[in-house]
Structures are given as C-alpha cells and as structure tokens.
Amino acid sequence: MNETRLLILDDDVAVGQMMQDVATTAGMMARYTSEPAEFFEAVERWDPTHLVIDLRMPQMDGVEVMVRLAEKGCAATIIISSGVGDRVLDAAARSAQDHGLRIAGILPKPFSPKALRTLLTSSPAGADLDPGSQKSSRATFVATPENLAEALRSEQIIVYYQPKVECLTGRVTGFEALARWLHPEFGLITPDKFIPLAESSGLMGDLTYRVLDLSLGFLARHFNGNASSLGTKSLTSVTSRLKVAINMSPQVLRPQDFVEHLVDACAERHIETYQLILELTESSAMENPVESLAMLTRLRVRGFHLSLDDFGTGYSSMLQLVQLPFSEIKIDKSFVMTLNHSSESRSVVRSIVSLGQSLGLQTTAEGVEEIETLEYLKQIGCDIAQGYKISRPLPEAEIVSWFKTHCRNGYWKG
Ligand code: C2E
Ligand code: CA
Ligand code: CA
C-alpha cells in the first residue's frame, strides 16, 4: 500500500496543527507532536513515510533529531522547517543528506499551506515498508558506468549555477556551471560522487558536452541579446557581457575537433566565444605540457577564456604554468575559506593576487563564505569573488531570480 503517513515535530502548536490540517485535507494521514520523545516513539511504532522537523525547538534542536534518525536508519522523506535563515536551513539539509537521510526540501517559516502541499505531494514516500515485513535496510547509492550512461541519456545530469561577482562593486560577471545528478530515487547527487567515475569510464566527453549545451542555453535564454526573461530593459546593458565557466577534464581537450565543436556550439546560440570560460586544474593542464600548450593556445586564439582552477594546490613549476595562456587564476577555496583564521592562508592569497596582477591575469577567489573574507579580498585587489556568502550554486530558475534581486538591490549597496 502506498499511503502517506506524515509525522510533524514542531514546538509551536498552531504551526503543527496547521500542517496537520493541510496534510489531512490533501488526503494524507498526519500526526503532530511537540515532544521529541513522543516523536521518536511514533517513528518506531507508526512508521511514518514523511516527517516535518522544526529546526529550532526548546528541548532538542532539529539537527540533533536528524542525527538520531540517521543512526536509526530512518528511511522516511524529511522536510526541514524553521524560521532560521536560508543559509542555516541549507546547511541543515546538507548535513542531513551527508548523514544518509532523504530530504525532500526545506520550508522556511512563515510558509503558505500551498508550499507545504507542494513539497508533500512532489516527494515520493521513502522506502515503502510493508508493515509486518522485516524493515528493508536503506539502499545506498552506487554509481556505475551503466547507470551514469543511462543518466546522461535520460537527462538526469543537470547544471547548477554559481555567480561570480566583482569584489569591489558586486557586479555579476558570470556564473560557474556545476554538474549535478538528479537521481529519481536518491535525489540530488554531487559531482564528487560521479565525476571520477565519468573520467575512468570514458563518459567525460558526453558529460562535458551536456554541461556545455545546458550552460550555453542558460546564457542565451536569460542573459544574452534582449535578455527577455529578465523583463527589465535597463538590465540588458549589464547582462550582455556575462560569461559562463565550465569545468574541463584533460581527456576532453584531446580530440582534434574539440575546438571546432566549441566554436560551433557558441555560434548556434549566438554566444561570443569570449563569454565561455574553460576551467582547468593545474595538474590537468600540466599532464602533457607540450600538447596542452598547443591546444590551450588554439582556444585562446579563438577567443575563449581559460581559467587555472584550484590554484595553489598543485606542485607544477611556476615557470611552466605562467607560460600557458591562461586569462584567470582561481585561488583554491582551501586558502580562501581559512583566510580569517590563518595568517598563512592570507599570505598565500595575497601572493597569488599579486602574481596575477603582475602577469596581467584576472584573479578569482572561490569559497568566499564570510563578509570579512570579502573585505580582505577588496583590500588586496582581488578581482572576482565566488562563494556561499554571495550565493550557493542554484538551479536555473532560482539563479535567475537571485540575479534579479541582486541587481535590484544595486549589488553591494543594497
Ligand atoms: P570546483 O571546480 O573547484 O568547483 C567549486 C566547488 O566549490 C563547487 O563544488 C562549489 O559548490 C563549491 N563552493 C563554491 N563556493 C563555496 C563556498 O563558499 N564554500 C564551500 N565550502 N564550497 C564552495 P561542487 O559543485 O560540489 O563541485 C565539485 C567539483 O566537481 C568541482 O570543483 C569540479 O572540479 C567538479 N565538477 C563539477 N562539475 C563538473 C563538470 O561539469 N565537469 C568536470 N570535469 N568537473 C566538474
Ligand atoms: Ca571550477
Ligand atoms: Ca576550484
């Protein structure tokens, strides 16, 4: 039987009852409690398919509740709700996912009945447990070449976009495209779980072309030409020069027709080649320096931008690196994220920025999570910032609305 049993944990009686009403009106079974102890008992006995958990409660916070649920191998689909900020909600959802819980979404308070209904009806029940049968242990996600190939065919590989902004003004210069696997059963899967597999199983070319296609489409739809989806004429001047950056594995660069493929893909979407940034890590650029130099030069000649990703983590010789025709250095986030607490990180970042300046390269700091980091980057003359403080990577529709709000607020001035 596939019926929804919803269990709600919230210390606010009015909110709890409202949720219960919404669910029962939609034909679900729903229970509500404000007591963690009672909640855990109901999880055991009633075996709910869905849970709504309030993050902030007097007796026990929601994160603790979720850690306990994970320990019990809870297979229910979880909605996290709270009045705390979006960042905290996001962090809680990530932490829960890392613990192996199944998260349907977050519900920032105050919320509308409709928002709750949408989350409940769009998220299928977790493992469908037949009462009486032995509890099946939760299936774990394993990527195989076969299911990744299938995911590529059935368009489960999607792209999230993270903005890059000028440190000084906050003006958006473009977005980095980051691959995600939207799995019908396991939800959103991050690239660390499938990029290495794509590389070892010969699927990296297909994956990169898919990311490229989606990213160019995204740029063309929202930010190029008349940028119709933004709906505001005055934004078009700011948007006309936005760029999109995609990550490149060395094996994708090798085929001889690669450069032509990129040129054609841009032309089809009326995107100028300078609007596409290819990000390569220093180790991949140095894998075969002679071949890389030729290929990278061809790309630069055609107008593409090249970015040296994760800079500072490799061991290549500085001399070899600076001879490659990069246009941007991306300072690795391990240094940026620790700026405020480590004088070593500050020294590393400062010297990379001045190296970039003296070579005429744009410097980008990724992993900007705090306002103090941004202040420091401004002081030392770093050009571009990217990180959770500005925005997390978001799906297409959400990044477009983030962009509109960011512009409406006058960048940093807002
Ligand atoms: P990357 O190229 O270094 O991408 C930046 C990573 O840092 C992203 O992780 C992003 O979500 C994360 N990040 C951004 N700002 C912050 C911050 O403020 N704090 C923290 N803690 N993290 C931040 P993500 O999306 O999980 O991607 C991981 C890696 O997977 C990427 O690292 C890239 O190497 C690889 N990847 C993603 N998409 C593709 C792709 O289409 N092709 C290839 N070849 N690799 C990809
Ligand atoms: Ca990157
Ligand atoms: Ca990076």
| 90-143: pLDDT as tens digits | 788 888 888 888 888 888 888 888 888 888 877 765 433 333 333 333 467 888
Residue 51 in domain: yes
DSSP codes joined into one string, 300-340: HHTT-EEEEEEETSS---HHHHHHS--SEEEE-HHHHTTTT
- Based on the fold, state whether residues 160 and 307 are members of the same structural domain: yes
Dist. CA 164–CA 162, nearest whole Å: 7
Dist. CA 267–CA 224, nearest whole Å: 13
Ligand 1, atom 21: closest residue by C-alpha: 367
In sequence order, what are the beta bridge partners of 23? none
Does the CA dihedral 236-237-239-242 come out positive or negative? positive
CA of 178 to the centre of ligand 1 (A): 6
pLDDT in tens, 359-397: 999 999 999 999 999 999 999 999 999 999 999 999 999
| pLDDT score of 83 | 80
Residue 127 in domain: no
- Based on the fold, state whether residues 199 and 112 are members of the same structural domain: no
Residue 310 in domain: yes
Ligand 1 pocket test, pick from 90, 95, 178, 313 with the greatest ligand atom count within 8 Å of Cβ, gives 178
Query: Quick check: 215 pLDDT over 80?
Result: yes
Ligand 1, atom 5: closest residue by C-alpha: 366
Which alpha helices (H) appear in 175-328, and where do they start and end? 195-200, 204-222, 236-239, 250-253, 258-268, 282-285, 289-301, 318-323
* pTM tops 0.75: no
Residue 73's CATH number? 3.40.50.2300
Report how many helices (DSSP H) and strands (DSSP E) the chain contains, helices first.
18, 14
Residue 206 in domain: yes
CA of 298 to the centre of ligand 3 (A): 23
**In this structure, which ligand is nearest to the CA of 284?**
1
Looking at residues 325-344, what average pLDDT do you find?
A: 94
Dist. CA 303–CA 277, nearest whole Å: 10
Q: Which domain holds residue 329?
A: 135-412
The residue among 68, 87, 120 that closes a domain is 120
| pLDDT score of 132 | 33
- The reply to whether ligand 1 has any atom less than 6 angstroms from the CB of 368 is yes
Residue 233 in domain: yes
CA of 366 to the centre of ligand 1 (A): 9
| pLDDT score of 128 | 38
- The reply to whether ligand 1 has any atom less than 6 angstroms from the CB of 288 is no
Ligand 1, atom 15: closest residue by C-alpha: 387
